[in-house]
Every structure is written in structure tokens, then in C-alpha cells.
Amino acid sequence: MDFITDNILLIFCFVGSALLLLLPYLNKSRAGTLSPADVVLQVNKNNAMLIDVRNKDQFETGSLGGAVNIPSCDLAAQLNSLPTDRPLIFICQDGRQAMQAAKQVKGKGFKDTHVLNGGINGWVDDKLPLTQPETAPKKPVRKKSIAARKAHQQQQASHSSHPT
């Protein structure tokens, strides 16, 4: 007992050092969170699918390149459209909503699920770019003037009255 009381400072230093050495391993054990660099590796090496679970308006402000928008409220209905043969990485603004989505999907049999640690905020904090989702170009709607419609109708009428 004298050893412990005489060396209490040394014991605290030893225990503290052991905890500091184990801290990186303990952080990695958190349920499938990936750093932004790890997300890039997963996409490039394993063709991971990026799923942004924010609502459409938030998604349209910018997301990771190649991300698909499936709002968390629609996720259960979209489970059949998710691939089972590649990793799924869930994204939200700060990581919390994505963590819930990953848990929901993992409970349905998807094994390789991850979450972007810190979400979009963490991505931006690491000075990584966001992309705007691609939207289909809008075709201009052409309305014929009344005069143009009448001319077209007269032209069709004259073709139908002349047999060939």
C-alpha cells in the first residue's frame, strides 16, 4: 500500500498515457463514422454510394459530388433501391441524422454502412468542395401565336383537300 501512496503521481501518469494511446482506437470503434479523407477512399476504392439524407432544399444548397438525395423520411420506402454489394455512406448536415439513417438501414440487413463524421459541416471544415446537384435543363415552352396556329391549320387543310 505504501508503494501506491508513494507513487500516486506516477500511477496517474501511467494510466493517463495508456488512455491517450488507446484513444485513436476507441474513436474508430464508433459506429461506422468516417473522416472526409476516409469517405474519399471508400468512394474511390470500393465504389461506395453516398446518400444525403437531408431534405431536398438542403441538398440543393450543395452536397458531395455523386451523392444521391434520399431524405430520411423517405428512406424506409427506398430500401429496395439501395445496393447491397457496395458500402453505403450516409451524409447530413452534422452527422446526427445520418447516424440514425445508418442504424435504420443496418437493422434491415445492410452490413457495410458508414456515416460522414461531422456531416457536411465537417466536410466544409476540411476545406473540401461541395457540388450543386445536376438538374435537368428546362426546355422553353413555345406557345404559338393565334396567327401562327391559323396559318398551320390552313396549311393542313389545304394538304388534306389535295389528293396525291
For 104, counting Cβ atoms within 10 Å of its Cβ (0-12 exposed, 13-18 middle, 19+ buried), the class is middle
Return the number of other C-beta atoms located less than 10 Å from residue 49's C-beta: 18
Give the chain's end-to-end CA distance (angstroms, integer): 117
The per-residue pLDDT for range 68-107, each reduced to its tens digit, is: 999 999 999 999 999 999 999 999 999 999 999 999 998 7
Give CA 79 to chain center in angstroms: 15
- Confidence (pTM): 0.64
* pLDDT band for position 16 (cuts 50, 70, 90): confident
* pLDDT band for position 139 (cuts 50, 70, 90): very low
Residue with C-alpha cell 491517450? 20
The per-residue pLDDT for range 52-73, each reduced to its tens digit, is: 999 999 999 999 999 999 999 9
The per-residue pLDDT for range 28-49, each reduced to its tens digit, is: 444 589 999 999 999 999 999 9
Which residues, in sequence order, are bridge partners of residue 92?
none
Confidence check: pLDDT of 160 > 70: no
**What is the chain's alpha carbon radius of gyration, rounded to the nearest angstrom?**
29
